[in-house]
Amino acid sequence: MASTDLHNSVAASDRGAAAGGLIAEVLEGRRKSIARMMSLAESTGEAGREALAQIHRHTGRAHIIGLTGVPGSGKSTMVRALAQKFRTSGRKVGIVAVDPSSPFTGGAILGDRIRMTELSGDPGVFIRSMGTRGALGGLAHSTLDVADVLDAAGYELVLIETVGVGQDEVDIVQAAHTVVVVSAPGLGDEIQAIKAGVLEIADIHVVSKCDRPDATQTVANLRGMLALGAAAMGERSTWMVPVLRSSAQNREGIDALISTIDAHRAHLDDSGEIENRRREIVEMRILKAAEDIVRDRLLGHGRNELDQVLRRAMSRDIDPYAAAKILLGTSTDQDGL
Ligand SMILES: Nc1nc2c(ncn2[C@@H]2O[C@H](COP(=O)(O)OP(=O)(O)OP(=O)(O)O)[C@@H](O)[C@H]2O)c(=O)[nH]1
Ligand SMILES: [Mg+2]
């Protein structure tokens, strides 16, 4: 063996041992190791992939709860209240907040961090904020990997907060076992969930800020829309989607929300629907991972190769579909690249 090979293989086995140690520490629930593993999930490196594949084997125990709704609907406030209540029964809670770091809601990350700090002294709570911009890999894929890390580390409940705008965010929340859609009164006179196209993904609707008088109208609108939707879609599930009310200000509605979340989980288990849901979640994750792999492969070409194909498409020698096939190496075009 050449000395560089020897050096490389020693380095690789060192890395393997280090990863093994890190995985064991995550499974023990060590916070620093959990944070390091999450950073690996947010990077695109192969070293991280290997460790996350190991972590994935230890998942499947947590109840993943997705909360979504338009910006400002009260999701973070609700997540915080839920986490506090879940903690009173001794259950460990992981929180993944996907922050819309867009120019429209700039500063959201900081805002959420500040609002979440009152939970951060509790060792039974782990909070991770993820930016939507600047995520190196695919957002959906890395968010769900981060949720896996919490699951493997023994967090029994994992709350994922995303804004219900944008396909990735909706997909992420749909990868939960229980989807909670949060609507606030007064943020426009229409039901916000419909605008965001998330009405139909809710297992539970919650109208937040029910200390406000216009909340009653929002509840009525939602119930009306649900009745119409149910008639149009037929019975897809035996679960009746409830519309709950909450007020963080008056500390109301959180107990009912928790018992409904628990009831939904029990319903999934008792009816066997949990298997369908697990299959849908895995399928979505495979598709998201495949999209990321394809994108990496495309971008892995040198700029010159990309430019050549781009020029051919621009001159209408080939169409964009054929150009993509050439870049992916699936084209039979002999003079491809
Ligand atoms: N009156 C009233 N205000 C509330 C209630 N819950 C949240 N708010 C306020 O609504 C605003 C937005 O709350 P957040 O919890 O940050 O909403 P969010 O949906 O997480 O917001 P983004 O993450 O920015 O999309 C804050 O000013 C809260 O204080 C409530 O029950 N009653
Ligand atoms: Mg928030």
Question: Tokens in use for 262?
Answer: 């628990």
Strand 93-99 relative to strand 243-245: parallel, antiparallel, unpaired? Answer: unpaired
Task: Please check the confidence at residue 315 and state whether its pLDDT lies above 80.
Answer: yes
CB of 202 closer than 6 angstroms to any ligand 1 atom? no
Token pair 């679960």 in the structure block, residue: 239
pLDDT band at 16 (very low <50, low <70, confident <90, very high): low
Does residue 286 belong to any structural domain of this protein?
Answer: no
Pick the atom of ligand 1 nearest to 163's CA: 25
Q: Are residues 40 and 168 in the same domain?
A: no
Q: How many domains does the chain have?
A: 2
Q: Using one digit for the tens of pLDDT, what is the confidence trace for 121-140?
A: 888 999 998 876 555 567 88
Mean pLDDT of 284-306: 84
Q: Using one digit for the tens of pLDDT, what is the confidence trace for 139-194?
A: 888 899 999 999 999 999 999 998 877 777 888 888 999 999 999 997 655 556 56
Q: Using one digit for the tens of pLDDT, what is the confidence trace for 216-238?
A: 988 988 888 888 776 666 556 68
**Rounded CA separation 123/54 (Å):** 24
Does residue 183 belong to any structural domain of this protein?
Answer: yes
pLDDT of residue 173: 86
Give the mean pLDDT of the chain: 83
Task: Please check the confidence at residue 6 and state whether its pLDDT lies above 50.
Answer: no
Q: Are residues 94 and 178 in the same domain?
A: yes
Does residue 311 belong to any structural domain of this protein?
Answer: no
Q: Are residues 28 and 160 in the same domain?
A: no
Does residue 302 belong to any structural domain of this protein?
Answer: no
| Ligand number, closest to the Cα atom of 184 | 1
pLDDT of residue 210: 95
- Phi and psi at 149, nearest 5°, equal -60, -45
Q: Within a 13 Å sphere around the CA of 228, how many CA atoms are in the beta-carbon half?
A: 8
Angle in degrees, 0-180, between the axes of helices 254-271 and 75-88, rounded to the nearest 10: 80
Does residue 248 belong to any structural domain of this protein?
Answer: yes
Give percent of the chain with pLDDT exceeding 70.
79
DSSP code at position 296 = H
Q: Are residues 23 and 103 in the same domain?
A: no
Task: Please check the confidence at residue 333 and state whether its pLDDT lies above 70.
Answer: no
pLDDT band at 116 (very low <50, low <70, confident <90, very high): low
Confirm if 98 and 141 have CB atoms less than 8 A apart.
no
Pick the atom of ligand 1 nearest to 70's CA: 25
Q: Which burial class, exposed, middle or buried, applies to 156 when counting CB atoms under 10 A from its CB (0-12, 13-18, 19+)?
A: middle
pLDDT of residue 47: 75
> In this structure, how many other beta carbons lie within 10 angstroms of the beta carbon of residue 106?
11
Q: Are residues 86 and 128 in the same domain?
A: yes
Q: Using one digit for the tens of pLDDT, what is the confidence trace for 234-285?
A: 556 689 999 999 998 888 999 999 999 999 999 999 999 999 999 999 999 9
pLDDT of residue 107: 42
CATH code, domain carrying 130: 3.40.50.300
**Rounded CA separation 30/62 (Å):** 17
H helix runs in 234-337, sequence order: 254-271, 273-299, 303-314, 320-328
Q: Are residues 23 and 85 in the same domain?
A: no
CB of 33 closer than 6 angstroms to any ligand 1 atom? no
pLDDT of residue 10: 46
Residue 82, SS3 per DSSP: helix
pLDDT band at 104 (very low <50, low <70, confident <90, very high): very low
Q: Are residues 104 and 6 in the same domain?
A: no
Task: Specify the residue with its C-alpha closest to ligand 1, atom 5.
Answer: 209
| Ligand number, closest to the Cα atom of 208 | 1
Q: Are residues 103 and 244 in the same domain?
A: yes
pLDDT of residue 5: 46
Q: Whole domain around residue 207: which residue ranges? A: 59-271
CATH code, domain carrying 7: 1.20.5
Residue 233 belongs to what H/E stretch?
helix 215-233
- pTM across the whole model: 0.85
**Rounded CA separation 324/90 (Å):** 52
Q: Are residues 254 and 233 in the same domain?
A: yes
